[in-house]
Amino acid sequence: MSQKEYTKDMFVLVQENERLLDKKLKTKQLTYFQDAMIRFTKNKYNVIATVILVIFILLSIFVPIITPRNLFAQTNSSLTTLPPRIPLLENLGILNGTKQFKNQPIDYTTVDPVTGLGYPTIGFQADYFLFDTLTNQDVIGTDRSPQFRGGTNELFVDTERSAYAIVTPVAISFLTGHTIEVDVNEIDPAGVLKVYLSALSVGSGYASWDDLALLGTITEAGVHVLDPMTAIANGVARYVVFKYELPAPSTDGSEYVSFNSIAVKNAADVNVNFYDGYPLAMFALYNVDSLTENGRFVRKNAVMTTANFRYNVYEALFADQRSTIGDADYDRILQENEGMEDSIVPDPDNPDGWLFGEGFPIVSVVSVEIISLPGTGITATNYVVMLDGSYALGFETTPYFLFGTNVFGQDLFTLIWLGLRTSLLLGFMAACVNIFVGIIWGATSAYYGGQVDIMMERFTDIWGSFPQITMIAIITVLIGPGFTALFIFMVYDGWIGAAKVTRSQFYRYKGREYVLAARTLGASDSRIIFKHILPNALGTIITRVVLSIPSVIFLEVNLSYLGFGIGNGQAFRIGPITLTGTSIGVILNDGQQQIFAGNLWLVIFPTIIVSILMITFNMFGNALRDALNPQLRGS
């Protein structure tokens, strides 16, 4: 078998004259953070959350700057608790500046004979009701007020007393044929009801009950008719006294007589005086001997009709107001507003008056009256004018308070962003302090290990087991509520979490070869910690910090709500930034007191904003974690 010969000259060296170098990578090289950025933008929901978060931060910076200071920094007594009004949405019938009122006592004269519905008139004007939302309901109560009607009035005798009496508020002139009609609802059989005529309105003028004229005695329930003419002559005015009398002092104060009504009728059986419900409750108490007579006169089962309705608060507040002004004022207004005089046009509906153009304090003149002062020959001119409602309150047109106003008349929209700014800044600062202390603590603890680690761990154990409420107590007692206290609450144990993360990360990396290499080359401890180990652990730590911000804001909201943080009227300067005492917690606290006044927006809007903030913050934090540490995704 012959073998093929391979001689040396059959071979040629490849690349003999070429220099061999590393080739450039064909694909683009990415740093760790660029890589993270790509992963971050892949999840669309997280990007949306991040965008919302950024918008919130921008709003919290710029809204308080743009809004005029007088709308949120001072009390505006004329603008209190205006409901929210939002452009565009108002056309859909929501958030249109109307406010739901509940349980408002109605004015009984307004009851419509067709629908049977009435509405209140005190504080409300009929023009601005949304009548299709009006409903009435009855409330049963014991108030001695004219809002409550009907019901019974009960005269009790107190414990260890034997009688008590009531008297008509006015003296009644009795004519021939007049009768007194007493409608008794219930009477406790232990006692009797005696009816007297008294010449005096108080019992102290008499020495004994025998000095009064007794008309009759009532022992059972029902309508009883008494004739006053048996005791007095025609035309004499007398007070009528009703006395509930027990044979012996009461042992438990439970004996009573219950009246439906008391009436004085004339010969034609027509009521001359009629007392029931509220008028009856206004009967004065009457006693001859204050030692044996005492008791109480209470109202039962009285009914009040209340109304629920929507009311257009903006139109009512910013309506043009009729007013009468003198000629001096009128001329002054015309002079002060340039172009006002030129904008006058005659009023087509009213030959006596004229109209002005838009944007002037006076909308129109309704009529002019010229008064000449008698004897002097001087004449004064009075103008009956319609004042522009918006202008009177300092606005050019009816304003839109997007989130309404609070009890101090401040714009809630601005206040929320202002509060959010405080909350966010405090949150960021606290997170920074936490991360700073946490990294140093955790790094030291893990890097040195051994005894140092055990000691530092035990310290964090004790420190971390302080109940939050105890810490609140200590700080409140020692330095009182305020910015400093709030900040200490936020950081006193917040760093422990960061320290734990840093410690576990350090344990992971400190035994690696590159650390050993660095140490062999003579690197100092701090260089190894901060230059070689920390950058590896940074991703996890950053995520941890971002995810801790919402919980810090949580804490701020809770503490300020409880009054242990900041409050209205405080301010705190950090360099160029001034933080106000308004925060979401403070706004919520103010708002909670308004829930049952029906001013729900004061709670709803801060709630929505803070919830969205928390949700987006958490989504942003999770997205950041997924991007920086893909191995932790979804946990």
Partner 1 sequence: MTRYIIQRVVWIFIILFTTLTITFTLLKLAPEYPPTKNEEKDIWLEKQVQDGFYTSVYYNIDDPEDMAEVDYIRANEPGVNQSVFIVTPVRDSGVVKVFYRVPIITQYFRWVGNIVRDWNWGTSTKIRVNVPAFTIIAERMPLTLYLNLSALLFYLPFGFFFGILAALKKDTVVDNILQILIMVFLSVPSLVLLLTLIIILSYQFNLLPSLFPLVGIESFGKVAQGFVIPVLAVGLPSIAGLTRILRAELSEVLTSEFVLLAKTKGLSHTQAVLRHAIRNSLVPMVPIIIGSFAGLLGGSFILESVYAIPGVGRITLQALVAGGYDYNVILVSSAFYSAIGLSTALIVDLSYGIIDPQIRMGARK
Which tokens sit at 177? 């044929």
By C-alpha distance, which of 466, 462, 471, 470 is closest to 490? 471
Residues 386, 313: Cα–Cα separation, whole Å: 19
| Three-class DSSP category at 257 | strand
Contact 70, 410 (CB under 8 A): no
Residues 565, 480: Cα–Cα separation, whole Å: 9
Beta carbon nearer to partner 1, 262 or 424: 424
Beta carbon nearer to partner 1, 205 or 480: 480
Contact 267, 177 (CB under 8 A): yes
Beta carbon nearer to partner 1, 40 or 492: 492
Residues 468, 555: Cα–Cα separation, whole Å: 10
Beta carbon nearer to partner 1, 380 or 562: 562
- Distance in Å, CB of 413 to partner 1, minimum: 18
Beta carbon nearer to partner 1, 239 or 487: 487
- Distance in Å, CB of 137 to partner 1, minimum: 12
- Distance in Å, CB of 503 to partner 1, minimum: 17
By C-alpha distance, which of 423, 415, 416 is closest to 556? 423
By C-alpha distance, which of 510, 509, 633, 635 is closest to 36? 633
- Distance in Å, CB of 616 to partner 1, minimum: 9
Measured CA distances, 107 to 117, 123, 125 (Å): 10, 11, 12
- Distance in Å, CB of 39 to partner 1, minimum: 20
Strand partners, 285: 166
Measured CA distances, 591 to 315, 379, 506, 606 (Å): 24, 54, 47, 9
Core vs surface per residue 584-602: b (16+ CB within 10 A) or e: bbbbbbbbeebeeebbbbb
Beta carbon nearer to partner 1, 301 or 558: 558
Element (H, E) at 264: strand 256-265
Residues 343, 307: Cα–Cα separation, whole Å: 44
Beta carbon nearer to partner 1, 281 or 619: 619
| Three-class DSSP category at 93 | coil
Beta carbon nearer to partner 1, 356 or 483: 483
Beta carbon nearer to partner 1, 184 or 588: 588
| Residues shown for the chain | 635
| Residues sharing a CB contact under 8 Å with residue 595, sequence separation 6 or more, in sequence order | 603
Residues 281, 300: Cα–Cα separation, whole Å: 10
Beta carbon nearer to partner 1, 359 or 598: 598
Beta-carbon count within 10 A of 550 CB: 19
| Residues sharing a CB contact under 8 Å with residue 262, sequence separation 6 or more, in sequence order | 168, 180, 181, 182, 183, 240, 242, 274, 275, 276, 280
Residue written as token pair 């840093």: 502
The DSSP bridge pattern shows strands 236-245 and 163-167 to be antiparallel
- Distance in Å, CB of 603 to partner 1, minimum: 5
Beta carbon nearer to partner 1, 368 or 612: 612
CA 573, 574, 576: angle at the middle one, nearest 5?
Answer: 90
- Distance in Å, CB of 322 to partner 1, minimum: 37
Beta carbon nearer to partner 1, 249 or 630: 630
- Distance in Å, CB of 458 to partner 1, minimum: 9
- Which spans of this chain sit near partner 1 (rule: CB under 8 A)? 461-462, 465-470, 472-474, 476-478, 480-481, 550, 554, 557-558, 561-562, 564, 585, 588, 591-592, 595-596, 600, 603-604, 607, 610-611, 614-615, 617-619, 634-635
Strand partners, 578: 573
Beta carbon nearer to partner 1, 106 or 557: 557
| Three-class DSSP category at 339 | coil
Beta carbon nearer to partner 1, 223 or 595: 595
Beta carbon nearer to partner 1, 308 or 398: 308
Measured CA distances, 406 to 71, 396, 401, 403, 416 (Å): 11, 21, 11, 9, 11
- Distance in Å, CB of 220 to partner 1, minimum: 36
Compute the Cα dihedral for 407, 413, 414, 415 and give only its sign: positive
